[in-house]
Every structure is written in C-alpha cells, then in structure tokens.
Amino acid sequence: MTGHPLTTLPAWQALETHAAALRETHLRDLFAGDPDRFARFSFSLGPLLADYSKNRVTAETMGLLMELARARNVEAGRAAMFAGAHINTTEKRAVLHVALRNRAHRPMTVDGVDVMPEVQATRARLKKFSDDVRHGAWLGATGNPIRHIVNIGIGGSHLGPMFVADALKDHQRADLSVAFVSNPDRAQIDEVLTGLDASATLFVVASKTFTTAETMFNAHLARTWIVEALGEAALPRHFAAISTNRAAAGKFGISKDAVFPMWDWVGGRYSVWSAIGLPVMLACGYEVFDQFLAGAEAMDRHFETASLDQNLPVILAMIGLWHADFLGAAAMAVLPYDYRLKLLPSHLQQVDMESNGKGVMTDGVPAAGNTGPIVFGGGGSDSQHSFYQLLHQGPRMIPCDFIGALKGADGMGPSRDLLLSNMFAQSEALMKGRAAADLASTPLELQPHRSFSGNRPSTTLLLEELTPYTLGMLMALYEHKVFVQGLVWGVNSFDQWGVELGKELATSLEPALNGAALKNRDSSTAGLVAAYLHAKGGAA
C-alpha cells in the first residue's frame, strides 16, 4: 500500500526485498545447506520445545523481522500492557489479564490503583466456593451434594473454560460431571439436562452485564427447570454467577456468596484465568487451576523480560507475520496431536480472529495488506483424513502449527508412537514434498497427481507432557503471539466492534419474528422473515 505508515518503514521494505529473493528457495535446500538448522531454529523453554526450522526463514530473515518489531515499538507496547496502560484505545481500557495469573503478588496497577488485592481476594473466594462444592460443604437445597456442573455462557465465557476443562479431564473426579451450554437453540440445553438430577446440579451463569441475550435466555430456561423440580426457594443453592451486575444476579435468585466479579480490563477471550474459570475449578479442583495459572505466569515472565530475538511469543508472532504479509498466506492451521487438545483450534480461532481480524489501525488508517489470518484446524489424526489433502497439494500455502506431547495419558507406549510418528511425518512431508523424478516406477500420466511441491511451512510445539502447567504455558504463548502481531500491524487486539452490529440488528429483528411490523429492511431479510412467519403460522 503506497505511502502507508507501516509499509514505508525501511524495515518493512527490507523484508519485501528479502522475500523476493527467498520466495523461490526450497526448504529442502535450506536443510541441505545447514546440517545444524534444527538447533539454530528451535527454542526450549522449560517443558516446551518449539521447532520453527521448517519455516522458510534464514538468520537474515529473523534479523530483519526483529528490526521490524523494534521499529513498531513492540518492547514499548509490551511494557505498556504490563504497566496497565489503556492500550485498548477504542474502549479506553487497560488490558491486564496477566494480573490474573500473577501469583507472585507483585503490584499491578490500573489508573494508579493496585488491582492485586482484589484479584487475590477473589481467588480466595473462588477457592473456598469450589472447595465447598467439591467437598460437600455447599449442598443442594434438599441436602444432596452437587454432582453436575453446567456452565452457561457464550464466546470467551464458553470456549475458554470448555477447552480447558476438556483438556484437563484426567484431573476431574468421576462423580462430578461438567457440561457447557452456549447455544440458544433449545436442543443443546435440553440434551445437557436430560438425565441430570436437579437436586444435585449447580449452574454457573457467566455474563459480565447479566444481560447477554443468549446466555440469559439459557439461564432462564435453567431457572425454570430448577423451580419446577425444587421450588423457588431452591435457587440460591443451585446457581452461581460471574458478573459485575450483582443486583441483577440477586434479583435472579443467586446468593451474594456465589456471585464473583469480572473486570473491564479483562476481555472475554482472555478471561478463563479469572472467575470465568470457575467450572474448571469445580471440576478439577482449585490446586489444579493454580498450576494452570503458574504455567501461564511462567510464560508471562519470559515474554516480559526476554529480549525480542530470544522471546518465543515474539519469534512465533514475527514468523506468522512473515507468512501473512510477505509470503501471501491468508490462513493458518492448528493441528493438535493429542486428543485432549481437540478443542484448542476453536479457542485459538477466537483468540486470534476476534483480536486481529481488523481492517483499520489504531489511528484510523486502513490496515496494510493482511492482518489476522484465517485460523482453522482440528485434531491431527482425524484431520489427516479430512483436509490435509489441501495442505499438501492445494494451490494455497497454509502454514501449520503441529502441537503434541511427548508423554500421553497412557505414558509413552504404542499409541504415542503411532500418534507422534504421524505428526512428525506430516511436517516432514509438507516440507520435503515429492518430486516427479522420484516416481520413476509410476506411470507418467500419474506422476503429476502423485508428486508434491513441498516447501510448505510448519512449526512444531512439543510439550514434555500435557499438564495444567504446560497447558497454561501454551495458551499464554498464543495470547502473547497475537498481541505482538497486533502491535506490528498497528491494530487494537482487544476490542471487537465487528461483533456488535449483528447483535444490534438481531435485537431489532426479533420483534418482527413475533409479528411486529418490519421496517426499512432489504428484500432478502424481509423475505427470510416472511418465510419464518409463514412456517410459524402453519405450525400454529
């Protein structure tokens, strides 16, 4: 983009020149020319190993990328976040989710006020409440212990805790189930509630304002279910809430002892570290959740203190930016080879695409080229038999993140051998490809179909073992990676105005679906509403 404040930087232009020279270089040649390439382009941080050698980068590439990061004041932006500055400029808010995993209790301030005393007090309340529920001090209205936890939320109040609870399922008690409801389609909540004992069920309603349409619709269905089974007086023993609106939660029937705060300096997609993580604490125990915080805290300290060229979130962020802006990649695939991480792609989809899916910079200037990538993925083993064909032979280059653990839930036996041999082989195949010259015994007419260009980039993240600690490290790594990319692109990674328009239009449309006059709508929307009303009339 001619004259753009980002693309006119000398560091950006140097990368464009470098990309033109490197674009046709094959990864096979980079490995052949450097026997120590893995050692040179991998990074160990405690129980986490990151191999980024299978990306089309050289030492010169990495040096130029770090120059761009410095030119975009990444160090200053990082410091501003940890200092509690209002880096969410459009909403005039601090961005301090790192305070939620600050277990060292060092002061962290917003507008001159140390937030840690309130964070610590909330942690203590969450610990007591989760311990009481798990150990029978908090009973249902009839005196039965709680055996079923149902979280009602949406977006970050749903995806994050659902992913973490699923990933840490090994740490859950067999006699305490956890389920998640987000969809206003009644089919979901009806399915979750089927077979549950109301006298042993605790609902957690997660809504900062206690007005979120989808969440409150499901919360009222749950309320009716409890009242019909146990009576109105039972409500305080069967609901908890995470909300700033204590009055509305109280009016709903929730005890003040079971209402936990949220803060406007924590965005939804970064909130699992807060009281939003209550279902994880209830299912797995507060001690497990504390280790989850500890892993994230370790990544925070690394990100905050390490130099840019020795900083894992920065390294991965700049490689992702290199793919998006200089090599033309519009998407990236997240491919976990551990069944317990199967929901990670959905969580990261929100963390990345809601954060950096922006077309305008913080100063109102249109963004240059690509910003946030399209993030998709799935469990590696199933995905191999689904969309990997496109990754290997499709016309688009799609960088991949392979994620696995050296030790599985069953140790390092045959299942782990099979799993990791496939993960390592897929990244090798994407890198090497297969030339037609290597298919001498294959009929000529089939050689174009059975050859692979290779030269397709990937990064491999290996955990020693999937534990609460390493899960916290992994999630914080991606959060900081996305933040760094937002700093370089100059976008606000912490607002989500694009989400709001659809909500506003839905609110104004809902009366029309109950027969109110429909005004000032396009013919398509009017036609769809008419089709629904016709069906609704027929059903009636």
Q: What is the pLDDT of residues 361-420, one digit of tens each?
A: 999 999 987 899 999 999 999 999 999 999 999 999 999 999 999 999 888 989 999 999
CA distance 426 to 420: 10
The residues assigned a catalytic role are: 354, 385, 503
pLDDT confidence of residue 369? 75
Question: Alpha helices of 72-185 — where are they, by DSSP H?
Answer: 74-82, 116-135, 159-167
Q: What share of the chain is helix, strand, coil (3-state, %, to 5)?
A: 55, 15, 35
| Angle, CA 30 vertex, CA 26 and CA 36 arms, to 5° | 155
pLDDT digits (tens, 9 = 90+) for 304-359: 999 999 999 999 999 999 999 999 999 999 999 999 999 999 999 999 999 999 99
CA angle at 86 for the pair 476 and 503, rounded to the nearest 5°: 80
Find the mean pLDDT for residues 135-154. Answer: 98
Residue 540, pLDDT > 60, answer no
How does the average pLDDT of the chain come out, rounded? 95
Confidence of residue 539 (pLDDT cuts 50, 70, 90): low
Q: How do beta strands 374-377 and 331-336 pair?
A: parallel
Model confidence band, residue 104 (pLDDT cutoffs 50, 70, 90): very high
| Structure confidence at residue 3 (pLDDT) | 67
Note the pTM of the prediction, 2 decimals.
0.96
Dig out the tokens for 396 from the structure.
Answer: 């688009």
More confident residue, 514 or 202: 202
> What's the mean pLDDT in 63-91?
97
CB 97 within 8 A of CB 273: yes
119 Cβ contact partners less than 8 Å away, ≥ 6 residues apart: 99, 100, 102
Q: Nearest Cα to 532, choosing from 519, 515, 520, 517?
A: 515
Structure tokens that stand for 60 in this block: 């010169």
pLDDT of residue 470: 98
Asked if the model's pLDDT at residue 449 lies above 90, the reply is no
| 1 has pLDDT over 70 | no
Q: Express as a percent the part of the chain with pLDDT over 70.
A: 99
User: What pLDDT shows up at residue 438?
Assistant: 81
Q: How confident is the model at residue 2 (pLDDT cuts 50, 70, 90)?
A: low
Can you name the CATH fold of 26-85+306-431+459-489? Answer: Rossmann fold (3.40.50)
What is the model's pLDDT at position 503? 86
- 260-273: pLDDT as tens digits: 999 999 999 999 99
Q: Do domains 26-85+306-431+459-489 and 104-289 have the same CATH topology?
A: yes
Task: Say what the pLDDT of residue 445 is.
Answer: 85
Q: How many residues does the chain have?
A: 540
CA dihedral 354, 386, 384, 413 (to 10 degrees): 90
Per CATH, the number for 104-289 is 3.40.50.10490
pLDDT, tens digit, 9 for 90 and up, residues 203-247: 999 999 999 999 999 999 999 999 999 999 999 999 999 999 999
Tell me how far the alpha carbon of residue 130 is from its chain's centroid: 24
pLDDT of residue 172: 96
pLDDT of residue 66: 98
- For residue 324, give both structure tokens: 């998006």
d(CA 97, CA 293): 11
Lowest mean pLDDT among 149-163, 181-195, 222-236, 499-513: 499-513
The residue-averaged pLDDT of 511-519 equals 90
Q: Look at residue 117 and tell me whether its pLDDT is greater than 80.
A: yes
User: Structural domain boundaries of the chain?
Assistant: 26-85+306-431+459-489, 104-289, 499-539
For residue range 26-49, list pLDDT tens digits in order: 999 999 999 999 999 999 999 999
- 451: confidence class by pLDDT, cuts 50, 70, 90: confident
For 335, counting Cβ atoms within 10 Å of its Cβ (0-12 exposed, 13-18 middle, 19+ buried), the class is: buried
Q: What average pLDDT score do residues 113-120 get?
A: 97
